[in-house]
Amino acid sequence: MELALSLGGDNTPKPILFLEKSSSSSSSLHENKVNKDVGFCMVLGKSCNEVERKKRSKKHQEIRSSSIDPSLQLDLIPFSHGVSYNTCSKLSFPWLSQNLATHEPAGLTNGPALDMTNRMQLVVAEEAEEGAALSSPNSEISNFQMNFPIYRNGKLINTKRDQCERDRDNNRWGNGNNYSCSRISDEELDASARKKLRLTKEQSAFLEESFKEHNTLNPKQKLALAKQLNLRPRQVEVWFQNRRARTKLKQTEVDCEYLKKCCETLTEENKRLHKELQELRALKSSQPFYMQLPATTLTMCPSCERVATTTSVTTTTTTTTPATTTTTTVAASNAVALHNHKLISVMTKLECTN
DNA sequence: CCAAAAAGGCCAGTTACGTCA
DNA sequence: AGTGACGTAACTGGCCTTTTT
């Protein structure tokens, strides 16, 4: 495989062309592995292990590995959002200071005089103004990543996902809150495939407030929020996605609880009705007179939707002696019977159908 | 005008990191 | 100091709609 790399002094993106040779000519294992899908492989450091370690070997992973994987990307960059000036000086790329001066947007050319937060703010602000929702064109790293057309099998790769991947790579280097020189050590490169960056309380609160107003974002709102919070649009987008997911999860839990209670209530009701049914069966066999009552005396109880008499019936239960059985007045019996009339009807019907 | 491709957004599921008990 | 649970930022792949070719 041969790599034709065009580096221009201007800002015009230059394509990287990937010229495939026979795979047998590739001496590195990594090249053998990768060049089947992506004709570009620039191995720096431990890329081989890194790629193999990450077994997410599907399409996007492959693209990612070739385009933005920290071990594969051109780490010849003087500094990016995630690399401090100290690191740059440690790495000492003498040619880069010149690059910097060339590519730095107005306001950033002071270099070391500006702290990184200020630089980020400026960068994000300009990014937002340019409407570059998914890119960070003012950083050195993203200049490289965003503007180089990448070809795979002779075809230009510039899909949405690729864009996101490159944007994600930018994210990996920091969101303005967490910069560390150690991030770019070889060891870290392997380990920092995805560094999680916690949002500050203020950022979270602002996003929360914004979410209350509208739980989805249009591109303008996304950009504005990102600009305001000094975050990348992708981060805002992800936050809203996750927030929606959390809301949905909570709602599902609430629904689940409600359904549980419903289920319990219905189970209780079912038990009660079964019990009632048994009692009524017993009653039916012992006192069949209830069937002779005139229908006009039946009425529906509004609270429990059961059939009952319109007139109040007093039930008198008197236990006289242990030998005597409980005496129930006919009226009371009627009341009980009437109250369950509907249920019995249903039961009878059910029995008939069975 | 139509079809295919590309782009963009969202979602469900998952991973991985930071924090805390 | 080590560890597991938990919250959540970030990622992935798929689906759908809209826009572009």
pLDDT at res. A144: 32
Q: What is the pLDDT of residues A209-259, one digit of tens each?
A: 999 988 899 988 999 999 899 999 999 999 999 999 999 988 888 888 888
The separation, in Å, between residue A160 CA and nucleotide C20 C1' comes to 14
Q: Using the predicted structure, report yes or no on whether residue A174 has a pLDDT greater than 80.
A: no
Measuring from the CA of residue A162 to each C1', which nucleotide is nearest?
Answer: B7
Q: Using the predicted structure, report yes or no on whether residue A309 has a pLDDT greater than 60.
A: no
Q: What values do phi and psi take at A329, rounded to 5?
A: -65, 155
The separation, in Å, between residue A49 CA and nucleotide C2 C1' comes to 28
pLDDT at res. A271: 95
What residue spans define the domains of chain A? 2-196, 199-286, 287-354
User: Strands A17-19 and A150-152, how do they pair?
Assistant: unpaired
Query: Which residue has its C-alpha nearest to nucleotide C9's C1'?
Result: A196
| Cβ–Cβ < 8 Å for A309, A335 | yes
As to burial, measured by CB atoms within 10 angstroms (0-12 exposed, 13-18 middle, 19+ buried), residue A228 is middle
The separation, in Å, between residue A34 CA and nucleotide B2 C1' comes to 39
Footprint of strand C on the protein (CB under 7 A): A 56, 58-61, 64, 164-165, 168-169, 171-172, 175, 194, 196-199, 204, 234-235, 238-239, 241-243, 246
Q: Using the predicted structure, report yes or no on whether residue A281 has a pLDDT greater than 50.
A: yes
Q: For A115-119, A190-194, A261-265, which range has the lowest pLDDT when averaged over its residues?
A: A115-119
Q: Is A349 helix (H, G, I), strand (E, B) or coil?
A: helix
Identify the helix (H) or strand (E) that includes residue A152. strand A150-152
Q: Rounded to whole angstroms, how far apart are CA atoms A327 and A325?
A: 6
List the structure tokens of A238: 């992800």
Q: Rounded to whole angstroms, how far apart are CA atoms A173 and A81?
A: 6
Q: Using the predicted structure, report yes or no on whether residue A277 has a pLDDT greater than 70.
A: yes
Query: Which residue has its C-alpha nearest to nucleotide B14's C1'?
Result: A56
Q: Using the predicted structure, report yes or no on whether residue A15 has a pLDDT greater than 70.
A: no
* Candidates 1.10.150.130, 3.40.50.2000, 1.10.10.60, 3.90.1260.10; CATH matching A199-286: 1.10.10.60
The separation, in Å, between residue A299 CA and nucleotide B5 C1' comes to 70
Q: Using the predicted structure, report yes or no on whether residue A323 has a pLDDT greater than 90.
A: no
pLDDT at res. A80: 32
Per-residue confidence band for A345, with pLDDT thresholds at 50, 70 and 90: low
Q: Rounded to whole angstroms, how far apart are CA atoms A90 and A250?
A: 48
Measuring from the CA of residue A249 to each C1', which nucleotide is nearest?
Answer: B12
The separation, in Å, between residue A321 CA and nucleotide B3 C1' comes to 94
Which nucleotides along chain B are within 7 A of a protein C-beta? 6-14, 16-19
Q: In Å, what is the CA distance from A5 to each residue of A10, A16, A34, A90, A193?
A: 15, 5, 18, 26, 26
Q: Look at A279 and A17; give whichever has higher pLDDT.
A: A279
